[in-house]
Homo-oligomer: A and B are copies of this chain.
Amino acid sequence: MPTELQINGRGYRRPDRHAVVICLDGCEPAYLDAALAAGVMPALAGMLAAGGSRHLARSAMPSFTNPNNLSIACGVPSAVHGICGNFFLNPDTGQAVMMNGVEFLRAPTVFAAFQQAGARVAVVTAKDKLRALMGAGLDCSRGGAVCFSAERADQATRAVNGIGDAALWLGQPVPPVYSGDLSLFVLQAGVKLLAEHRPDILYLSTSDYIQHKHAPGADEANAFMAGVDAALAGLLAQDIRLVLTADHGMKPKHRADGSPNVIYLAPVLEAALGAGQARVILPITDPYVAHHGALGSFATVYLAPGADAAAAAATLAAIPGIDTVLSRAEACARFDLPPDRIGDLVVTCSADWALGTREEEHDLSGLDAPLRSHGGLDEQVVPFLASFPIAPPQDGLRNFDAWQVATSAGD
Contact = CB atoms under 8 A, between A and B. Distances in A.
Contact of A217 (B51, B53, B319, B323): B323
A30 B378 CA distance: 9
B323 A30 contact: yes
Nearest to A381: B381
Interface string A194-208: 000000000000000
A192 interface: no
A328 to B, nearest CB: 14
A340 interface: no
Given A351-B251, A351-B350, A381-B381, A54 B396 contact: yes
Q: How many copies does the complex hold?
A: 2
Contact of A324 (B34, B353, B392, B397): B34
Nearest to A263: B256
Nearest to A352: B352
A394 B53 contact: yes
A56 B323 contact: no
Interface string A49-91: 0011111111000000000000000000000000000000000
Contacts of A330: 37
Contact of A397 (B55, B58, B258, B261): B55
Nearest to A389: B394
A378 B394 contact: no
A309 interface: no
A59 to B, nearest CB: 12
Nearest to A370: B320
B395 A53 contact: yes
A10 interface: no
B320 A396 contact: no
A350 B30 CA distance: 11
Contacts of A391: 391
Contacts of A34: 324
Contact of A54 (B377, B390, B395): B395
Contacts of A394: 51-54, 389-390
Contacts of A142: none
A374 to B, nearest CB: 12
Interface in A235-259: 251-252, 254-258
18 contacts: A30-B377, A37-B333, A37-B334, A54-B394, A54-B395, A56-B57, A56-B396, A215-B323, A216-B323, A254-B320, A256-B319, A256-B321, A261-B352, A321-B352, A350-B351, A350-B352, A351-B351, A381-B381
4 interchain residue pairs of minimum CB distance: A352-B352, A351-B351, A53-B394, A37-B334
